[in-house]
Amino acid sequence: MHKSYTVTHLEHLESEAIFILREVAAQFQNPVLLFSGGKDSIVVAHLAKKAFWPAKVPFPLMHVDTGHNFPETIEFRDRFVADMGARLVVASVQDSIDQGRVVEEKGPNASRNGLQTVTLLDAIEENNFDAAIGGARRDEEKARAKERFFSHRDDFGQWDPKNQRPELWNLFNGKMNPGEHFRVFPLSNWTEMDVWQYIKRENIDLPSIYFSHKRPVIERGGTIMAVTDFITVQDDEEVAEKVVRFRTVGDATCTGCTESAANSLDDIIAEVAAARQTERGTRADDRRSETAMEDRKKQGYF
Amino acid sequence: MTSVNQDKQAKEKDSYLDMELLRFTTAGSVDDGKSTLIGRLMYDTKTIFEDQLEAVERSSKQRGDENVNLALLTDGLRAEREQGITIDVAYRYFATPKRKFIIADTPGHIQYTRNMVTGASTANLAIILVDARNGVIEQTCRHSFIASLLQIEHVVVAVNKMDLVDWSEERFNEIVDDYKDFASRLDIPQITFMPISALLGDNVVSKSENMPWYQGSSLLYHLETVYIGPDANHVDARFPVQWVIRPHSNEWHDFRGYAGKVAGGVFKPGDEVMVLPSGFTSKIKAIHSHDGELEEAFHPHSCAITLQDEIDISRGDMLVKPNNKPRVEQEIDCMICWFSEKRKLKAGDKLFIRHTSREVKAAVKSVQYKVNVNTLHKVEDEPEVGLNEIARIHLRVASPLFVDEYSRNRITGSLVLVDPFTHETLAGGMIRAL
Ligand SMILES: Nc1nc2c(ncn2[C@@H]2O[C@H](COP(=O)(O)OP(=O)(O)O)[C@@H](O)[C@H]2O)c(=O)[nH]1
pLDDT digits (tens, 9 = 90+) for B139-155: 898 889 999 999 999 99
Given a cut of 70, the residues of chain B with pLDDT beneath it are 1-16, 48-53, 56, 60, 63-87, 108-111, 229-231, 434
Closest to B184 measured CA to CA, from B144, B227, B133: B144
Q: Which residues of chain A are within 8 Å of residue B59 when distances are taken between CB atoms?
A: 290
- Residue B126, classed as helix, strand or coil, is strand
Distance separating the N- and C-terminal Cα atoms of chain A: 47
* Shortest-distance atom of ligand 1 to CA B164: 1
Q: Tell me the mean pLDDT in the region A89-95.
A: 83
Specify burial of residue A40 (Cβ count, 10 A radius: 0-12, 13-18, 19+). Answer: buried
* Shortest-distance atom of ligand 1 to CA B38: 15
How far is residue B210's CA from residue A54's CA, in Å, rounded to a whole number?
60
Mutate to test the pocket of ligand 1, among B199, B204, B205, B210 (most ligand atoms within 8 A of CB): B199
How far is residue B131's CA from residue A229's CA, in Å, rounded to a whole number?
59
Q: In this complex, which of A8, A266, A278 lies closest to B52 when CB atoms are compared?
A: A278
CA B34 to chain centre: 17
Beta bridge partners of B139: none
How far is residue A152's CA from residue A163's CA, in Å, rounded to a whole number?
9
Closest to B393 measured CA to CA, from B409, B403, B382: B382
Identify whether the C-beta of residue A188 lies closer than 8 Å to the C-beta of residue B122.
Answer: no
How far is residue B93's CA from residue B299's CA, in Å, rounded to a whole number?
22
Q: Do B416 and A12 touch (CB under 8 A)?
A: no
Q: In this complex, which of B93, B102, B410 lies closest to A169 when CB atoms are compared?
A: B410
Identify whether the C-beta of residue A99 lies closer than 8 Å to the C-beta of residue A91.
Answer: no
How far is residue A233's CA from residue B201's CA, in Å, rounded to a whole number?
48
CB-ligand 1 contact for B203 (6 Å cutoff): no
Measured in Å, residue B154 CA sits from the centre of ligand 1 at 24
How far is residue B199's CA from residue B326's CA, in Å, rounded to a whole number?
48
**φ, ψ at A37 (rounded to 5°):** 85, 0
Per-residue pLDDT at A302: 61
Q: Where are the alpha helices (DSSP H) in chain A?
A: 9-27, 39-52, 71-84, 93-98, 116-126, 192-202, 265-274, 284-287, 292-299
Chain A residue with minimal CA distance to B112? A166
How far is residue A30's CA from residue A35's CA, in Å, rounded to a whole number?
16
Measured in Å, residue B223 CA sits from the centre of ligand 1 at 21
Q: In this complex, which of B118, B261, B290 lies closest to A49 when CB atoms are compared?
A: B290
A100 versus B431: which is more confidently predicted?
B431
CB-ligand 1 contact for B160 (6 Å cutoff): yes
Which residue has the CA at smallest separation from atom 12 of ligand 1? B31
A42 versus B45: which is more confidently predicted?
A42
Closest to B31 measured CA to CA, from B165, B139, B148: B139
Indicate the pTM of the whole model. Answer: 0.89
CA B342 to chain centre: 25
Identify whether the C-beta of residue B177 lies closer than 8 Å to the C-beta of residue B170.
Answer: no
The answer to whether B9 contacts chain A (CB < 8 Å) is yes
Measured in Å, residue A139 CA sits from the centre of ligand 1 at 23
Measured in Å, residue B196 CA sits from the centre of ligand 1 at 12
Geometric angle at alpha carbon B141, from B138 and B142, rounded to 5°: 90
Q: Which residues of chain B are within 8 Å of residue A14 when distances are taken between CB atoms?
A: 302
Chain A (197-216) residues lying within 8 Å, Cβ to Cβ, of chain B: 197, 201
Chain B residue with minimal CA distance to A149? B91
- Residue B113, classed as helix, strand or coil, is helix
- Residue A301, classed as helix, strand or coil, is coil
B10 versus A81: which is more confidently predicted?
A81
Out of A83-87, A94-98, B305-309, pick the least confident. Answer: A94-98
CB atoms within 10 A of CB B182: 15
The answer to whether A272 contacts chain B (CB < 8 Å) is no
Identify whether the C-beta of residue B402 lies closer than 8 Å to the C-beta of residue B327.
Answer: yes
HSE-CB of A49 using CA atoms within 13 angstroms: 17
Q: Which residues contact B7 (CB under 8 A, 6 or more apart)?
A: none
If you ran DSSP here, which 8-state letter would residue A112 be given?
Answer: S
Q: In this complex, which of B18, B122, B234 lies closest to A8 when CB atoms are compared?
A: B18
CB atoms within 10 A of CB A252: 24
Per-residue pLDDT at A69: 82
Q: Tell me the mean pLDDT in the region A199-227.
A: 88
Kindly tell me if the per-residue pLDDT of A37 is higher than 80.
yes
Per-residue pLDDT at B182: 87
- The number of residues making up chain A comes to 302
Per-residue pLDDT at B11: 46
